[in-house]
Amino acid sequence: MHIEQLKLRNYRNYESLDLSFSPNINVLIGENAQGKTNVMEAIYVLAMAKSHRTSNDRELIRWGADYGKIEGAVQRKYGVLPLELTLSKKGKKARVNHLEQQRLSDYIGQLNVVMFAPEDLHLIKGSPQVRRRFLDMEIGQVSRVYLHDLLQFHKVMRQRNAILKANQGRSGLTDVMFDVYTDQYVDLAIRIIRKRFEFAEMLQKWAEPIHRGISRGLEELVITYETMKDIEPDQSAEEMGNRLRERLDGLRQRELDRGVTLAGPHRDDLTFFVNGHNVQVYGSQGQQRTAALSLKLAEIELLRQETGESPVLLLDDVLSELDDYRQSHLLNTIQGQVQTLVTTTNVDGITHETIRKADLYRVTAGTAEHENHDD
């Protein structure tokens, strides 16, 4: 798939913008703070119905405007699909093929994207919360059931936590609704954990050979989904549920003391091992960057396998963060395979033929114009 056209209205620093893109490589050039990243973010928001930079949708609406709108024409294998997302004080409205969607979980997945930005280089060494968000966003693109389960899980956990908070500091708890919420919580938690195990296994399948290639055969990457120590991927759902329930029973008093749920997928993590060593703890910056790059390239292959179409790749100011070898490996991999949008302050330091053949756009103070290479 690829995005043919993007229209913005009152989005960030854009009052109005209408751009058409090549299905190959598109490079947005401009100084910092001119709006390059805002274009990339808008495509991400069009796909995911949320920003990768902020959880406050009001920040996405142009200063002084009542609403913001993102429209896109997405070329899918069965034809062009119009997408539209409107942001306002009342919330978000999403349309697919001009039809309003009642649930955002039905909207997400119409446009698949892989975002690679400087902060993604911290995916390996950042907090577990960053990696959980990565898991949720990527699985959500290919599984509406997972998105629905995740929303329900957080809702039930909030209800369970409210009872714990109301009884905080007490010794023991007898509450029928608490038991009902706990049963619902365990069921949803196990569904999420099983899907994450499955996703991590697929990610490993694609990332391992990619990482071996980037490291010139010197490194082996192993990706592991870390959940409760008594839960293993080969267990049945019933067995996993029993383990989690036992764990929660054992934590009951501590949960009452703290007023929060202390076990479940909201505390899980992904770990990365290179040649048997935890790269988050013991890896060099180069190894961490190679692992992050391998992860992003694996995402492309995984989404292609799951959906039958290549996602759109967004490279936001990341080429300058990679050395020449990793940069070349990335550009060689995507050449002719994936629609890619690249932001950079200039292309002088990028000698790769892929960039020389790219469509160029000059971004200046909330405007973006297509330009020829010989302009």
Q: Is 30 labelled a binding residue?
A: yes
Helix, strand and coil percent figures for the chain, each rounded to 5: 45, 25, 30
Q: Is 31 labelled a binding residue?
A: yes
Q: Return the structure tokens found at 257.
A: 């003391």
Distance (Å, whole) CA 281 – CA 162: 36
Q: Is the dihedral of CA 271, 276, 282, 287 positive or negative?
A: negative
Q: Is 349 labelled a binding residue?
A: no
Query: To which residue do tokens 């008093």 refer?
Result: 253
* The three-state (H, E, C) secondary structure of 7-70, written as one string: EEEEECCEEEEEEECCCCEEEEECCCCCCHHHHHHHHHHHHHCCCCCCCCHHHHECCCCCEEEE
Distance (Å, whole) CA 110 – CA 52: 18
- Cβ-in-10-Å burial (0-12, 13-18, 19+) of 259 comes to middle
Backbone angles phi, psi at 159, to 5 degrees: -65, -40
Distance (Å, whole) CA 259 – CA 338: 47
DSSP assignment of 288-313 equals HHHHHHHHHHHHHHHHHHHHSSPPEE
- Cβ-in-10-Å burial (0-12, 13-18, 19+) of 198 comes to middle
| Long-range interactions of 79-84: CB distance < 8 A, separation 24+ | 80/4, 81/110, 81/111, 83/46, 83/107, 83/110, 83/111
Q: Is 292 labelled a binding residue?
A: no
Query: Starting at the edge strand that comes first in sequence, how are the strands of the sheet with 79-88 ordered?
Result: 14-20, 2-11, 67-76, 79-88, 91-96, 99-100
- Count of all residues that appear for the chain in the document: 375
Q: Is 37 labelled a binding residue?
A: yes
Q: Is 4 labelled a binding residue?
A: no
Distance (Å, whole) CA 271 – CA 2: 32
Q: Is 33 labelled a binding residue?
A: yes
Q: Is 246 labelled a binding residue?
A: no
Query: Would you give the distance in Å from CA 279 to the centre of its chain?
Result: 21
Which residues are annotated binding-site positions for ATP? Answer: 30-37
Q: Binding-site residues, please? A: 30-37
